[in-house]
Amino acid sequence: MAQAQDFIKGWPHQELLTGADLRYALSQSFMKGLEMSHEALNYGDAANGAYMMGHPKFRQSLAAFLEKQYGQPVDWKTLMSMGGASMATDVAIRQHCKPGDIAVVEEPTYYLSFNMIRANQMTIKGVPMESDGMDLVALEKLLKEEGGKIKMVYTVPVHHNPTGVCMSEAKRMKLVALAREYNFVIVADEAYQLLNFGGFKVKPMFFYDDAANPRVLGISTFSKLIGPGIKIGWVHAHEALLKPLTSIGFIDSGNNPVIYNSCNLIDFMDSGALAKHIDMVSADLSERCELMVTKLREVGLEPVAPKGGYFVWVKSKGKATGRNGQDMSVNKDQFGDCMRLCFAWLPREKIVEGIEFLRQ
């Protein structure tokens, strides 16, 4: 008899973390990082001053890498290094909002975002998801009702966690226009931006913003590309939104949190090894995703195949597994009949067995 399996963990499987090519490329990059330890182990240097936004060489290499990935120009001065996406999100909330403000999220959404918002003593309100992203009609209705109290919209615009939906270009443009009209910032969680299947690509939210009146803080991380232990991420935003992030207490006192660790990845990016690794990871996860979606359909369920990321979202028809969808609603009062299933963690045979468990 088929057994239930662990579809809850949003982790990469072990083979993605232990490959010989990855280990060699990282070891070479770390050695190159050690060669610049006189800077990487310090607060700054005479030519560049304090590295509050991150080491300039890392930011320049990251910009060059992202330009190739996005097919869009990236100014290194619009990038700030952070200790992963969650740290970046938390800092953005603390520096651009205050206690008593309202944050709007999609429902369903990444459930741990609730903790970061509530920890900063903000109120959370949800708006529905549609097949092309956040319901902006519902958002605008809420903006009018709340009379200026909404100061942040948190969105996962690409390979949405948990639904897999990608926000359409029309909605991206409209959301930024609403942000200007109603005076709020957009925290765009783009952790899965570079994990695309079948050549799918969409521009990050930053490219819909305007330096004259910036509203977008695009947040991403190497955690989903290399491994969750790497804890190096970045914020992509215009300077007017980036500068306040350096004033948070631990950065103002201790400088950028990942100066040394980020320098260890410079050669990994410059050499082309990271781009090669992302291609391998995307192909591997695409195959696992296709396997999961196929098996779900075989047992009578109706998933929508995502174009990237880690998760499949599906409504149950009796038996359930994975993380229950109610965790992804603000008040845990919706989506109790839905499941978020991670296809990145389990071996293929366990994916098959875990889905077979759902057969009625």
pLDDT tens digit sequence for 26-37 = 999 999 999 999
Q: Which residues of 217-230 are buried (b: 16+ CB within 10 A; e: fewer)?
A: bbbbbbbbbbbeeb
Q: What percent of the chain has pLDDT over 90?
A: 98
Q: How many alpha carbons lie under 13 Å from residue 201 in its C-beta half-sphere?
A: 10
Query: What confidence tens digit (pLDDT) does each residue in 50-93 have?
Result: 999 999 999 999 999 999 999 999 999 999 999 999 999 999 99
- What is the CB neighbour count within 10 angstroms for residue 344? 21
Q: Which two tokens stand for residue 186?
A: 């957009």
pLDDT at 307 over 90: yes
DSSP state of 304: P
CA-based radius of gyration for the chain: 20
Can you give the pLDDT at residue 279? 97
Q: What angle do CA 321, 322, 323 make, to 5 degrees?
A: 120
Gap between the Cα atoms of 258 and 91, Å rounded: 14
Q: How many Å apart are CA 360 and CA 358, to the nearest integer?
A: 6
**pTM more than 0.95:** yes
Phi, psi of 95 (to 5 degrees): -90, -20
Q: Look at residue 236 in the predicted model and tell me its pLDDT.
A: 98
The kind and range of the H/E element at 262 are: helix 259-263
Q: pLDDT-derived band of residue 147, with 50, 70 and 90 as boundaries?
A: confident
For residue 110, what are its two tokens? 């990444």
Sheet of 323-324, strands arranged across: 311-315, 338-342, 323-324
Encode pLDDT of 207-240 as tens digits.
Answer: 999 999 999 999 999 999 999 999 999 999 999 9
Mean pLDDT of the chain: 97
DSSP H or E stretch at residue 299: none
The predicted structure's pLDDT at residue 1: 77
The pLDDT assigned to 2 comes to 87
Separation CA 112–CA 62 (nearest Å): 27
Q: Are 93 and 120 in contact (CB under 8 A)?
A: yes
Name beta bridge partners: 341: 312
Instruction: Give the type of residue at 154.
Output: Y
* pLDDT level of residue 169 (50, 70, 90 thresholds): very high
**Cis bond upstream, residue 108 (ω within 30):** yes
